[in-house]
């Protein structure tokens, strides 16, 4: 809603792969999935899906994460034995959970954990989710802001069909995956291509089917339609085994709805 507007019609699915499927099959115009968290680092499932799927990243949004502990009306903190939530949220609240001696039950997402506690009428359990989830499922908030770090922020990416292009705004970001030859100085040679371009993120991930070889996920400032960026990526492709451009899109601060169909 923060990125696409309150008028957006929302559809929930149980896994990140289903989000990709819905968009690929044309059953949803856009999909939104988490890419990285300021505490728990990267969301590996999303990175793997970006590698093997043909969707484009057309936008991003940063969301401050404030977790609440919630339960059904009449359930007190002292009665809670088990806490339901997504593994990322459980990790982000680990100090609070350990301090109270709660057992944990990982779920497919935070809102889903609130739904289960509500609909299954659990009296010994609570959920960790957002304040909005408590409102949606009629749960009582037992405690707010239980995350370990008050600066906790998650970066989400917005996925669109491969032919959707986010038009240049002069404040853009380009994301790509790079596979490098398995030899000395390969990374240093590749980064020469990006000289003079601000690299906002670079992270290695294991290459599927190639033990101890890695792919590099890179974010740079600039749009693929800019000549300087395009030339740099052409040079990078010559120094690499292959390059997959995931998309060029407005940086989160822009919130510009500039998605157009490409040729």
- Residue closest to 125 by CA, chosen among 84, 160, 185: 84
More confident residue, 104 or 8: 104
Q: What phi-psi label fits residue 187: left (phi over 0), alpha (psi between -120 and 50 degrees) or beta? A: alpha
Look at residue 155 and give its three-state secondary structure: strand
Total structural domains within the chain: 2
The residue that leads in pLDDT, 29 or 262, is 29
Domain finish residue from 123, 143, 163: 143
Q: Which residues are catalytic?
A: 154, 156
In a domain, 149, yes or no: no
Mean pLDDT of 171-177: 96
Q: Are strands 31-37 and 164-166 parallel, antiparallel or unpaired?
A: unpaired
If asked whether residues 166 and 243 sit together in one domain, one would say yes
Mean of pLDDT values over 81-108: 94
- The answer to whether position 42 is within a domain reads yes
Mean pLDDT of 50-55: 94
CA distances to 97, 126, 155 from 134, rounded to whole Å, are 19, 11, 22
Is 30:157 a contact under the CB 8 Å cutoff? Answer: no
Domain that residue 167 falls in: 16-64+154-261
Give the Cα separation of 181 and 207 in Å (integer).
12
pLDDT for the residue 167 = 84
DSSP state of 109: -
Rounded to 5 degrees, φ, ψ at 147 are: -65, 150
Instruction: Give the pLDDT confidence of 56-71 residue by residue, as tens digits.
Output: 999 999 988 899 999 9
Q: Average pLDDT, whole number, for the chain?
A: 91
């Amino acid at each position: 809603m923060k990125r696409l507007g309150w008028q957006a019609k929302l559809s929930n699915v149980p896994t990140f792969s289903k989000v990709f499927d819905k968009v690929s099959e044309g059953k949803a115009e856009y999909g939104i999935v988490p890419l990285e968290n300021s505490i728990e680092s990267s969301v590996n499932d999303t990175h793997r899906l970006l590698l093997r799927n043909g969707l484009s990243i057309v936008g991003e949004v940063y969301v401050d994460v404030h977790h609440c502990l919630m339960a059904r009306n009449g359930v007190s903190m002292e009665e809670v034995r088990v806490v339901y939530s997504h593994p990322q949220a459980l990790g982000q609240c680990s100090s609070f959970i350990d301090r109270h001696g709660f057992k944990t039950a990982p779920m497919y997402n935070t809102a889903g954990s609130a739904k289960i506690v509500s609909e299954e009428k659990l009296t010994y359990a609570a959920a960790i989710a957002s304040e909005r989830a408590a409102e949606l499922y009629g749960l009582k908030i037992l405690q707010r802001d239980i995350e370990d770090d008050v600066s906790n922020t998650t970066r989400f990416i917005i996925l669109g069909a491969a032919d959707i292009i986010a038009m240049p705004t002069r404040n853009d970001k380009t994301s790509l995956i790079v596979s490098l030859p398995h030899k000395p100085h390969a990374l240093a040679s590749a980064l020469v291509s990006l000289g003079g371009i601000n690299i906002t993120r670079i992270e290695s991930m294991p290459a599927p089917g190639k033990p101890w070889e890695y792919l590099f996920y890179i974010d740079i400032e600039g749009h693929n339609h800019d000549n300087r960026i395009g030339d740099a990526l052409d040079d990078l492709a010559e120094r690499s085994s292959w390059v997959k451009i995931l998309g060029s899109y407005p940086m989160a601060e822009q919130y510009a709805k500039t998605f157009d169909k490409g040729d």
